Amino acid sequence: MENQKYTKELNVAVRVVHMACFLCEKVQKQLISTNSDQVKSKDDDSLVTVADWSVQATVSWMLSEAFGAENISIVAEEDVQTLSKSESSAILAMVVTAVNECLAEAPRFGLQRPDKALTTSQILNAISQCNSTGGPLGQHWVLDPVDGTLGFVRGDQYAVALAMIDNGEVVLGVLGCPNYPVKDDGLNRKSQQNLRVSEISSAEVGSVMYTTKGSGKSWMQPLIHRDMMFEWPNSAKLIRVSSVDDPALATFCEPVEKTNSDHSFTAGVANTVGLRKKPLRVYSMVKYAAIARGEAEIYMRFARSGYKEKIWDHAAGVLLVQEAGGMVTDAGGRPLDFSRGIYLEGLDRGIIACSGFKLHEKLIGAVYASWESSNL
């Protein structure tokens, strides 16, 4: 990478995300094959799994070891409230096992493993240390341990997202996509042929994408599977947004769940702009990955009234798209503000990511034209 300021941080982050993806793959296979009790509902009825807590503990511990626990601030999605309940003892035991099995593999990823297995108390502490609220000053790591938990549970798309905010700006982004087909047009092919991820060769599935602010480059490398040794950056290749600027030819993404985005309003905007293709509905930040590597041109997200977007759902993906040559703003055309805590405060209606200025300009105009008739 040309931006040398965050060389160590990027080096550690890429390796840690590879480790986290390794952990997630193993947990997902166990979850799907055994239907074991690895999923819990949080107080807000959202899902959380063994993988969510295990990844957060693993990433927290590795970052603390690399940079010193006293020197890092981590903003992350999970806490230990549900995990600490007596009825969660079985799932807590699974988390402890998953974390220690993952950390034992650290040398394969060029990282230092602990001298001995972490205790339950140490793992709960590692999760709890991710309690920062971010803000405009200093450096803050931002982690979504499993973005797209429903996709993860269903054996579909999900992502491990790790970013760094420095004085209010996202300066580093790493996005692990364990079920994202590596070959070009893999996501479209999967959608069109209604394939399950398990029906695609494992050699064709899984990637980690990364970038730093100001580099003007985003990179992708294949996921490191069990029988492979970690090689970085030699195995990485540059990715770039699509050059398509004709709406009739553009592919656009949106969330799968209607609770996360108003599909009818998005359809109205798409019709106004002249988009002809059916939306590619994808779980997680993989939508940003699809834009960054040129597999889709547009991602629109219009949350219903009252919903507040969290920074961990967007930070890594936004930077990937921007450094790959794309644009990401709110629906009023303003940059997203990651400096105001855990929420994207002041967001104008929704989020629009696209491959270039022409499409972006048309989409912003269509939003204004469609907004008065919406019920958002």
On whether the CB atoms of residues 40 and 47 are closer than 8 A, the answer is: yes
- The reply to whether 87 sits in an annotated binding site is no
Residue 313: which of 139, 161, 149, 178 has the closest Cα?
A: 161
Angstrom distances, CA of residue 160 to CA of 103, 365, 372: 17, 33, 37
Cβ-based neighbours of 140, under 8 Å, separated by 6 or more: 73, 74, 75, 132, 134, 164, 165
On whether the CB atoms of residues 250 and 277 are closer than 8 A, the answer is: yes
How far apart CA 60 and CA 91 sit, in angstroms, is: 19
Residue 269: which of 232, 239, 231, 298 has the closest Cα?
A: 298
Determine which one of 52, 156, 262, 330 is catalytic.
Answer: 52
- The reply to whether 313 sits in an annotated binding site is yes
Q: Could you give the dihedral angle defined by the CA atoms of residues 30, 282, 158 and 138, in that order, rounded to the nearest 10 degrees?
A: -170
- The reply to whether 77 sits in an annotated binding site is yes
Annotated active-site residue 149? The verdict is yes
Cβ-based neighbours of 110, under 8 Å, separated by 6 or more: 15, 230, 232
Annotated active-site residue 329? The verdict is no
Determine which one of 149, 212, 251, 266 is catalytic.
Answer: 149
Angstrom distances, CA of residue 295 to CA of 194, 199, 242, 355: 17, 20, 7, 10
Please identify every residue annotated as catalytic.
52, 149
The annotation places the binding site for Mg(2+) at 77, 144, 147, 313
